[in-house]
Chain A
Amino acid sequence: MPERRPEEPKKEPAEPHDDAGYTEEEEAEVRKRLEDLGYVE
């Protein structure tokens, strides 16, 4: 039986660098992406 792939570190992830400090326009694009990818509606 195959092992599941190791998961990403979860407990205390490093602070993300990108996707932070969006302008309004950038945040609108990110939200559109999240909608397209099914994360939100």
Chain B
Amino acid sequence: MRTVAVDILTGFLGSGKTTLLGHVLAHGLRGKPVAVIMNEIGEVGIDGKVITGLANVEKMVELSSGCICCSIDDYRFDLAIQEIIETTRPHLVIIESTGLADPEPLAYRVKNAGLGLDGIITVVDAANVGRQLAEAAVARAQIEAADFLVVNKTDLVDGAALAAVERRLAKLNPRAERFPTVRGALDSDVLFATGVATYRALARQPANHLEADGIGSFVYRSARPLRQEAFERFLTRLPRGVLRAKGIVRFAGRDWHALFNFTCGRHEITWIRLDEAGGESQAVFIGRGLEGLRERIEAGLAACEVDEERRTGHA
């Protein structure tokens, strides 16, 4: 189960979550098998009818009997997750929450279900976010929990108002990366877990080549094991320009490989045993202005490496 990634898509009522999801499923995700869990309160799931039938969607499950963050119990949540994974074997599950859901409890549910939480994407209505923040505490919680903030409906506000929204969002959540958009038409590969492979391919191209969204990448490889404590400290100190980092690493003194996932300042490590994985550690770093950060990041990684000859006393 830990090799199934979960992205949580949240945002206040009317912010454009389903519009963004529809666009991404129609234009992105590179044909990877994706399943969608859509949480709508009410008997008729209108949004679900929009999503069902899109080419990349292997399975769409609607949870319509309550809010996914509070009133749907763990048993039904786990049941929905199990059904979706067993029937379609997706590589990515996207959970679209209700507009009134707090993503933090949902994130814990995902982790407790044994799934890898890839990221939290919050869609913000640029024209109405000020009013929503004044009226509903959950609007703030959604923004504060985000790894990525999709600032939608920017065509409905002027430049000064948009700048004010950006400042407010940056104050509420300085960790999140913000993407302005109109009608959810956002094509960045950085948002969802399956886009990371695109940046790995990009890293093989000539230096400083960037994706269309101005985001670059590079790959790290090492045959040496890493010191776990030093590596985790290294992850907490990655510069702001690094939006994602992901890989499989071998820690000194451990038989299991570690899968790590860093998204906008937050990281998780899970464990996996692969006979054929070999001893090599490899990771991809994705972000803005990476050409100026790469040397520093690589030096940080080198400092985590264990000299095996010295460690085993054969120097």
Chain A residues packing against B (C-beta within 8 Å): 1-2, 4-5, 7-8, 10, 13, 16, 18-20, 22, 27, 29-31, 33-41
Contacts and interface: CB of A to CB of B under 8 A. Distances in A.
A37 B247 contact: no
A13 B254 CA distance: 11
A31 B274 contact: yes
Contacts of A31: 274, 276
A5 B266 contact: yes
Contacts of A2: 144-145, 172-173, 175
Contacts of A1: 174
Chain B CB within 10 A, most for which of A10, A29, A36, A39: A39
B197 to A, nearest CB: 5
B200 interface: yes
A27 to B, nearest CB: 6
B282 A5 contact: no
A16 B272 contact: yes
Instruction: Tell me the dominant secondary structure on chain B's binding face.
Output: mixed
Interface stretch (B1-9, B75-83, B127-135): B1-9
B247 A39 contact: yes
B74 to A, nearest CB: 18
A30 B5 CA distance: 12
21 contacts: A2-B145, A2-B173, A2-B175, A4-B175, A4-B265, A4-B266, A7-B268, A8-B111, A13-B271, A16-B2, A19-B272, A19-B273, A20-B273, A31-B276, A33-B4, A35-B197, A37-B3, A37-B5, A37-B193, A37-B197, A39-B246
A37 B196 contact: yes
B282 A38 contact: no
A37 B199 CA distance: 11
A16 B199 contact: no
A38 B92 CA distance: 12
B57 to A, nearest CB: 16
A27 B111 CA distance: 22
Contacts of A19: 1-3, 272-273
A14 to B, nearest CB: 9
Interface of B: 1-5, 32, 89, 91-92, 104, 107, 111, 114, 118, 144-145, 172-175, 193-197, 199-201, 219, 228, 232, 246-248, 256, 259, 265-277, 282, 284
B248 A39 contact: yes
Nearest to B259: A39
Given A16-B2, A19-B3, A38 B265 contact: no
Contacts of B197: 35-38, 41
Contacts of B107: 5
Contacts of B4: 33
B68 to A, nearest CB: 18
Contacts of B173: 2
B271 A16 contact: yes
Contacts of B193: 37-38
A5 B93 CA distance: 21
Contacts of A41: 197, 200-201, 219, 282
B259 to A, nearest CB: 6
Given A1-B174, A10-B228, A38 B104 contact: no
Given A2-B172, A27-B274, A37-B92, 15 more contacts: A1-B174, A2-B145, A4-B175, A5-B266, A8-B269, A18-B2, A29-B89, A30-B274, A31-B274, A31-B276, A37-B91, A37-B118, A39-B246, A41-B200, A41-B282
